[in-house]
Homo-oligomer: A and B are copies of this chain.
Amino acid sequence: MKWLSGTADADYGDDRGYMVTNPSGVGCRRSGIDIAKQILKEAILQHFDIETLHLVSSHAFKIADLGCSVGPNTFSVVENIIESISIKLQYNGYDFDKFEFQVFFNDHVFNDFNTLFKSLPVDKTYYAAGVPGSFHGRLFPKSSIHFIHSSYALQWLSRVPKEILDKDSPAFNKGKIFFSTSPKKVELAYSAQFAEDMACFLNSRALELVSGGLMTLLFPSTTLNCKNRMTAAIDMFGDVLLDIASKGKISEELVDSFNMPQYFPSPEELKLLIESDGNFSIQKMEPIVRPLTTEINVKSIVLHFRAAWQGMLKDHFGGDIMDEAFEQFYNKMVESAIWTDSSYQRSGELFLVLKRKFV
């Protein structure tokens, strides 16, 4: 099982969304982004309105990618955005060459910005800046950004809900690391935390985005009351941790004090949160339909889970159990019915186009 330590040094922060949202084949995040690329282009052509943004006087267009990680996906998305805006400008008779683009790459402060900066495309057509900090708070001055994008990042919660870590709470998540097979109260705690985070996110973005500015979000999403491969896999990993605890290698308390800080909202839930915020109009909210892959490569899936989770897991459990945990996880995944049982839904993805209302 040598291969399982292949990503042993991968940084949790560097690619935290990778495959977590898409545990059904190698490169699915990339594939999701490729499909989103076309939808993103169509969204810009349809909804982007240069006149309302006062761009003709300044000629400087500011783009932000929130939760950018270290590339290269972020570079590809940014190029797509600029290319799409270019088409729209030329279509409307503007001289594209007069416009300049400034791109703000944002991720949390522990992201490897050094790697991001060294990987910037040599032939990039924009001025680049890195912005460290949580997108659950303010990142930019008021009305200073024209276009905001975020791929596979908003599912990460700002924290694990307090009550599911509290032994005395009815929402205590005993013996689990996720909410999908836990009592309803646990799911509600997760959902409430997501709502709180989303409110902070939308409120901050509403201040930073110019009136009429666009925000495109690529989101992992689940349909309520459906079995789902992704959530089932996370639950399996929770079982692995309990197995290791039962051998005395870690304590059960340590497992109980760990919960996966992710939430996959339903489209209905997202719609309510955006409407409740009130600052954005939903221009588009549609599922991303990816082609079915015929072959499932569990080895790659586990490798990608490891790359995405390991930093976070090491912080909580220490490094000693990592190899054993991911080997057991692999074995469980290979034996699992989730790949063959058609009642398991593939993880869903949503693409949202929001427009900042005029103030």
Contacts and interface: CB of A to CB of B under 8 A. Distances in A.
8 contacts: A59-B142, A60-B142, A113-B130, A117-B132, A120-B132, A127-B131, A128-B131, A130-B132
A129 interface: yes
A141 interface: yes
Identical copies of this chain, number: 2
Interface in A18-75: 58-60
A158 B141 CA distance: 33
A140 interface: yes
B127 A129 contact: no
Nearest to A106: B129
Contacts of A143: 58, 60
B141 A100 contact: yes
A76 interface: no
Contacts of A297: none
A127 B120 CA distance: 22
A247 interface: no
A102 B140 contact: yes
A332 to B, nearest CB: 36
Contacts of A104: 129
A112 B117 CA distance: 10
Contact of A140 (B59, B109, B127, B142): B127
Contacts of A139: 127
A342 interface: no
Interface of A: 58-60, 100-102, 104, 109-110, 112-114, 117-118, 120, 127-133, 138-144
Given A100-B142, A113-B114, A127-B139, 20 more contacts: A59-B142, A60-B141, A101-B141, A102-B140, A102-B141, A102-B144, A110-B118, A112-B114, A113-B117, A117-B132, A120-B132, A127-B138, A127-B140, A127-B141, A128-B131, A128-B133, A129-B129, A130-B130, A130-B131, A130-B132
Contacts of A109: 117-118, 120
A145 to B, nearest CB: 11
B128 A132 contact: yes
